């Protein structure tokens, strides 16, 4: 992916601890991109029904919990697992639809082995979404071999001030294979 997203080995890549990044936002969803011969079919009606089922299940759990707590209706406890399972099934269905809608690419791109982090936002503007995560989530920084030296030095200064001792390695072309070496 260096030629597409790393400016021909002039850029850099951040290697993240996926658990720390995902834990920073419980609403996010990590997935492996699927590489397909044909585009997937996504049914927005099914998605709407799944979203409604998840919402209904959460409301039902809240109302049932309130009835148990304030009305003493302990017999309703048996209903909560049913609502939890219905909500979980709805979320699984939405994740499947997200994977189809936002996590597929043509098979020609399969060499990328891409993973994506999906974040749902209620924003209506087109500004970038800035996500917070702990600095410890950065496990490594890989710098392309063609990055200008002054850029690399500036990057290393920023990293030392913000991330401490995060390892900085270099991606370079191999002279004997069509692969990159990261050292």
Q: What is the pLDDT of residue 29?
A: 82
The answer to whether 57 and 90 are in contact (CB under 8 A) is yes
Q: What is the pLDDT of residues 116-165, one digit of tens each?
A: 988 877 888 988 888 888 888 999 999 999 999 999 999 999 988 888 88
Split at pLDDT 50, 70, 90, the class of 26 is confident
**Cα–Cα distance for residue pair 114/75, rounded to 1 Å:** 48
| In the chain, domain spans | 1-23+134-183, 29-118
The answer to whether 147 and 12 are in contact (CB under 8 A) is yes
Residue 1 has pLDDT above 70, yes or no: no
pTM for the predicted model, two decimal places: 0.68
Residue 55 has pLDDT above 70, yes or no: yes
Q: What is the pLDDT of residues 72-108, one digit of tens each?
A: 999 999 999 999 999 999 999 998 998 899 999 999 9
């Amino acid at each position: 992916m260096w030629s597409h997203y790393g400016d021909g080995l002039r850029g850099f890549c951040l290697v993240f601890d996926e658990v720390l990044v995902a834990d920073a936002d419980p609403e996010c969803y990590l997935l492996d991109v699927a590489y397909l011969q044909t585009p997937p079919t996504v049914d927005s009606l099914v998605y709407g029904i799944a979203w409604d089922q998840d919402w209904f299940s959460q409301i039902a759990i809240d109302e049932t919990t309130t009835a148990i707590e304030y009305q003493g209706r302990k017999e309703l406890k048996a209903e909560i697992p049913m609502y939890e399972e219905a909500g979980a099934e709805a979320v699984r269905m939405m994740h499947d639809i997200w994977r189809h809608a936002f996590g597929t690419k043509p098979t020609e791109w399969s060499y990328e082995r891409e993973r994506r982090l999906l974040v749902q936002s209620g924003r209506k503007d087109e500004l970038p979404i800035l996500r917070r995560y702990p600095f410890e989530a950065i496990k490594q920084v890989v710098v392309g071999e063609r990055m200008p030296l002054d850029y690399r030095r500036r990057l290393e200064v920023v990293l030392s001030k913000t991330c401490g001792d995060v390892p900085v390695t270099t991606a370079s072309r191999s002279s004997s294979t069509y692969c990159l070496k990261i050292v």
